[in-house]
Amino acid sequence: MKIAVECQSPLLQKSLEIFLARFLSSVKHCDIVVRDTECLNDEKCFYIAGSEKADLKKPFSKSQLILALENKYESMGYSDRVAEKEPIEKDEPVNFDILERRIELLTKEYQHNIINAIKAFYEK
């Protein structure tokens, strides 16, 4: 199963990229495109929103997302389950770019908080 993510919400975009890291593909080569805007007459589109028309209603968990995408994938005519069709290969290198950016962001935030605490302590 190959999935592309195209969301207007940067937070949803990044969350979906993290959740679906092993399935990500370009829009040209994907089986399903996950969007947060309603898409009409596009069989490949998987719509996520808070409305009843959505394929997956917010809020959702990672397992709910994967299950809903598997169901969509099967409804498109692919009979094999995703877990059986695409096992994780041990020799395949893992991309840690997203994790590295997240750690870098958290480290900077932590550093900023420590500096502010020290400044506040000495300004009293």
57 neighbors 51 (Cβ within 8 angstroms): yes
CATH number of the structural domain spanning residue 75: 3.40.50
Q: Return the bridge partners of 32, or none.
A: 3
- List of residues 6+ apart from 74 with CB closer than 8 A: 81
User: Are residues 110 and 69 part of one domain?
Assistant: no
Q: What is the pLDDT of residue 80?
A: 54
Residue 111: how many other CB atoms lie within 10 Å: 10
In the chain, how many domains are there? 2
State which residues form the domain around 120.
93-124
**DSSP assignment of 45-100, as one string?**
EEEEESSTTSSEESS--HHHHHHHHHHHHHHTT--S-HHHHSPPPSSSPP--HHHH
pLDDT digits (tens, 9 = 90+) for 62-72: 888 988 888 88
**Residue 4 parent element (H or E):** strand 3-6
Q: What is the pLDDT of residue 84?
A: 46
User: Are residues 103 and 51 part of one domain?
Assistant: no
pLDDT digits (tens, 9 = 90+) for 44-83: 899 898 888 888 888 888 888 988 888 888 888 875 544 4
Rounded-to-integer distance, Cα 77 and Cα 93, Å = 30
User: Are residues 54 and 36 part of one domain?
Assistant: yes
Q: Percentage of residues in the chain with pLDDT exceeding 70?
A: 85
Q: What is the pLDDT of residue 94?
A: 64
Confidence bin at 111 (pLDDT 50/70/90) = very high
User: Are residues 88 and 117 part of one domain?
Assistant: no
Q: Which amino acid is at 43?
A: E
Q: What is the pLDDT of residue 121?
A: 87
User: Are residues 84 and 55 part of one domain?
Assistant: yes
pLDDT-wise least confident of 14-18, 20-24, 72-76: 72-76
